[in-house]
Amino acid sequence: MTAKQDNLILAFESSADETSAAVVKNGHEILSNIVATQIASHQRFGGIVPEVASRHHLEWINRVTKEALQEASITNPAAQLSAVAATYGPGLVGSLLIGLMAGKTFAMVHGLPFIAVNHLAGHISAANFVQPTSYPAMAVMVSGGHTELLWMAKENSFQIIGTTLDDAAGEAFDKVGRILGLNYPAGKEMQEMAAKGQANIHFPIAHTENTFDFSFSGLKSSVLNYVHHADQLSEQINKNDVAASFQKAVVEAIIEKTEAAIQVFQPVQLLLGGGVAANLALRTAIEHLAQTYHLKLTEAPISLAGDNAAMIGAAAYLNFKAGRFSGLDLNTDPSLNFSRM
């Protein structure tokens, strides 16, 4: 057998309601990225039901695995793959378990090394599919479960600058969406409504003790109060205006904290990732901010902003290079996070 020219990693992701397997080459090229989504199932309940999510993951895991291998033309995993990776946290424990057990078992059967990946590092590493990152960098991670400003002094090093004290940004979108009578998840529809409306209502942003931390639950409450107040007076509200005003407040909060952190930490590069990174208003605002401060910017492609295994493969490659492997006894860590700066 000839030496492996390329590094091929099979990666698994199942931390929330997407079951995904992917094959990534040299950390930055996607050979396959199969994603099965359970959104239609959880829409029945208005949000993710963990036990249901876990059952779905188990039913789909073999199928996405086989499709990912087939699409990447992997016929002999032991010979063609360099390693197997899976998300081990943060996320829903029952969901994480399926991808983690599948990844560890695959590694055991084919005698491959196993790499455990932090889901947040995965989101940030989606940038590697666009271009290499320059350091020191600062990452803005916004999703349904997380809102974080992260410091990256060097490759594969992450420290928390700021985080949300209550709701994540994506969670706030879903909650306000519900107030406006939208289906879960509401991010995409909120964005469409916001584009048709005027940001003419003032929804205040909460002050946080640490300048770089976020808080979105007060914002959600003020939208709720606004809608209730109009209800009591039997006034019609313009939902598009509410969506536009809410979105503006969220984007402003993220930009304000990010700008403050840029001034203090002075990165050379910005990274934008996470499910909410698909929001165009946020993308435009981050692009403007990067321009103002002459920073290099990498935004996760919209198609890779949500949860997927390719980003886990990209992050796993960094661990592979650093020689960070895990044993078959590794457990999930649902509340896994980086340490504060």
Partner 1 sequence: MKILSIDTSGSSLNVGLLDSSTGLFFAHEHTKDEARTHSMKILPAIQALMTKAGWSFDQLDRIALTAGPGSFTGLRIGAAVAKMIAGQTFAELVPVSTLEMIALSARLSATDPNTTSYLPMINARNHNVFAAICRPGKPLDDEGHWPFTDFLSKAPKNSIFVFEQGTGDDFKAEIQTAGLKFIEQPSEKLIDAKLLAQQGLSAARADADSFAPRYLRKTAAEMAWLKKHPDAGDGDYAKYVSEV
> Interacting stretch for partner 1, rule CB under 8 A, among 46-54, 125-133, 136-144, 158-166?
46-54
Contact 58, 89 (CB under 8 A): no
Identify what 101 binds: partner 1, Zn ion, none; CB under 5 to 8 Å per kind: partner 1
Contact 199, 248 (CB under 8 A): yes
125 binds Zn ion (CB under 5 A): no
Judged by CB under 8 A, the residue of 4, 6, 73, 108 near partner 1 is 108
Residues 285 and 254: their CA atoms lie apart, in Å, by 9
Identify what 280 binds: Zn ion, partner 1, none; CB under 5 to 8 Å per kind: none
Which SS3 state, helix, strand or coil, does residue 2 take?
Answer: coil
Judged by CB under 8 A, the residue of 8, 35, 160, 289 near partner 1 is 35
- Cβ of residue 153: shortest distance to partner 1, in angstroms? 32
Residues near 191 by beta carbon (within 8 Å), at least 6 away in sequence: 243, 247, 279, 280, 281
Judged by CB under 5 A, the residue of 42, 191, 307, 312 near Zn ion is 307
**CB closer to partner 1, 103 vs 267:** 103
Identify what 292 binds: partner 1, Zn ion, none; CB under 5 to 8 Å per kind: none
Distances (CA, A) of 296 to 54, 142, 149, 159: 39, 19, 16, 20
44 binds partner 1 (CB under 8 A): yes
230 binds partner 1 (CB under 8 A): no
Identify what 51 binds: partner 1, Zn ion, none; CB under 5 to 8 Å per kind: partner 1
**CB closer to partner 1, 100 vs 186:** 100
231 binds partner 1 (CB under 8 A): no
- Cβ of residue 205: shortest distance to partner 1, in angstroms? 33
> Interacting stretch for Zn ion, rule CB under 5 A, among 75-83, 203-211, 306-314, 320-328?
306-314
Contact 56, 38 (CB under 8 A): yes
Residues 206 and 157: their CA atoms lie apart, in Å, by 30
> Interacting stretch for partner 1, rule CB under 8 A, among 56-64, 168-176, 188-196, 313-321?
56-64
Q: Is 288 exposed, middle or buried (0-12, 13-18, 19+ CB in 10 A)?
A: exposed
Q: Is 229 exposed, middle or buried (0-12, 13-18, 19+ CB in 10 A)?
A: exposed
17 binds Zn ion (CB under 5 A): no
Angle 111-114-115 from CA coordinates, rounded to 5°: 160
Identify what 56 binds: Zn ion, partner 1, none; CB under 5 to 8 Å per kind: partner 1
- Find residue 115's DSSP bridge partners: 85
Contact 12, 102 (CB under 8 A): yes
98 binds partner 1 (CB under 8 A): yes
Q: Is 247 exposed, middle or buried (0-12, 13-18, 19+ CB in 10 A)?
A: buried
Tokens found for residue 131: 């271009």
Identify what 41 binds: Zn ion, partner 1, none; CB under 5 to 8 Å per kind: partner 1
Half-sphere exposure of 154 (CA within 13 A, CB side): 1
- Cβ of residue 111: shortest distance to Zn ion, in angstroms? 30
188 binds partner 1 (CB under 8 A): no
Strands ordered across the beta sheet of 147-152: 296-299, 269-273, 137-142, 147-152, 159-163, 339-340
Residues 275 and 144: their CA atoms lie apart, in Å, by 7
> Interacting stretch for partner 1, rule CB under 8 A, among 102-110, 139-147, 276-284, 293-301?
102-110
- Cβ of residue 144: shortest distance to Zn ion, in angstroms? 7
Which residues are at the interface with partner 1 (CB under 8 A)? 19, 34-38, 40-41, 44-45, 49, 51-52, 54-56, 58-67, 77, 94, 97-98, 100-102, 104-106, 108-110, 327-332
Which residues are at the interface with Zn ion (CB under 5 A)? 143, 307
